[in-house]
Structure 1
Amino acid sequence: MVAQTNEGSTVAPMRDGVPLPGTTPPVVLSQLAYRVFGPLRTDRVRAMLDCLGLAGLPADPVAVVAARHGVSTVTLNIWSKMLAAAGSRHPLPIELVTELARRTRTGEDHLGRVRAVGTFGLAAPRPPRAQPTFPPATAAPMSSRSDRAAAWVAGRILAAVGPLRMSTLHQAVTRARRARSRPLIASQQLASALRAIGATRDDRGLWRAPEGLAPPARYRALVAVAAGRDLTRQEMIDALRVAGYTEMSANMRKISSHPLIHRDGPNRFVLIGGDLSKS
């Protein structure tokens, strides 16, 4: 509902909705979609997250997303408006507004961010800055703090599932960092940062975790439950819950953003790994 002033101009609706517990845009959007469409219409929740670029893939054109979920573009737009109606009334802490309003960084999904910000009734973020071109460097630059953080994520993945090729590892790190709105990292940068933390690459092209690095307990538990199995979406959610994730986290976020989980087809999910046996 939009109010009118005495002069006839319109003002934005009051943000009088019930606050959600999430603290980042992806989490709040997931929770908002679940609130709007409820547990009985998870198909709509999945379609909305896909449209917002929060289902493990960058945001696609509406027609592509609609076809992927077997609905018309008109239907998808109606669902988007329902979600936006709730989003425009959702209270926004200053930290969330700051994150939503900032300029899109290079490598981020700008279309997904535009749709996410629009869901909350805010102005679209500015696109990434044009990147200057530089002559080839004569020596590899030192890893940045962001690169090293990505490398430690990769190291924990390797410690959990074993040796991996860079293509598999880079995709896993990208899933994890996109879900947390972290800057993405190129595979060459990731390789340099991995070497800096002690990871090694063997003569078959497989990366191995730094010596002595232990994987997180929930990673170990998930591998114990799901490694080597082809699971449906619900079965993978159940595996996440067994591994120690909450039901909401497993259902709304981890199923699409967990670095160890790869969507291998319609309603088919597997854990990454097994690159050693493929070499």
Structure 2
Amino acid sequence: MDLTRLDHLTQDDLWDARAASAYDTPGRGMEAPEVLGPTVDRLAELAGDGAALEFAVGTGRVAIPLAERGVSVTGIELSAPMIGRLREKVGEQTLPVVHGDMATTRVEGEFSLVYLVFNTISNLLTQDEQVACFRNAAAHLRPGGCFVVELWVPDLTGSAGRESARVGVAQDGYVLVDVLDPVTQRLTSHHFRFDQDEDRRAATVSRTPHRYVWPAELDLMAQLAGLHLESRHADWAGGEFLADSGSHVSVYRR
């Protein structure tokens, strides 16, 4: 599969009204209490008595409960439909959002916390864009503030040749197949969803491109932005980061 065929897709194409309408999963998945609770707890702790800025705030999955904890939260979001979905939940005074991309858009004010959750930095498809994202985060931070990144750890075990495909999830009604290109560090997720109430031979297919990043590469990006790694854990609850950890929560301090 030629991954360059996805290059013409913009983030606006990927995160359109259809994606925004299906993004929220109340009580399950990313919004399950055991996932969302520790995330908000840790972010509130890191924000302290200062303000927080969420890059790619989406529909407010994390930002809204964080604001309900008393943290002043602002968001940056590229997708207008995602902002529209957020606005169905809270108003501008409760959670201001600036329409723009997380690599270059500036927000007025100074923040004690900037954060990126659920692998979102991988939506930036080049190393230059990811470095710019770190620099943008650092530019928003007050002295002593921190930038938090949640990201999966690339697992290339068994990869052979230039490209390799693997099944990431196989369950009733949904199959995820990832196609990766180690040369460009591109991973394209193919989502196959089967309607359980209709003909199971029919499926909807969507694709999302990512650029995967090693923890060490993130650390170097942080150094280029004037930040240093303060801590790295396997999850939001503070689990120890080990060689076989599938993801990490990294805190970079200015």
Regarding TM over 0.5, the answer is no
TM-score (norm 1): 0.25
Name which one, 1 or 2, has greater alpha-carbon Rg. 1
Higher strand share: 2
TM-score (norm 2): 0.26
Higher helix share: 1
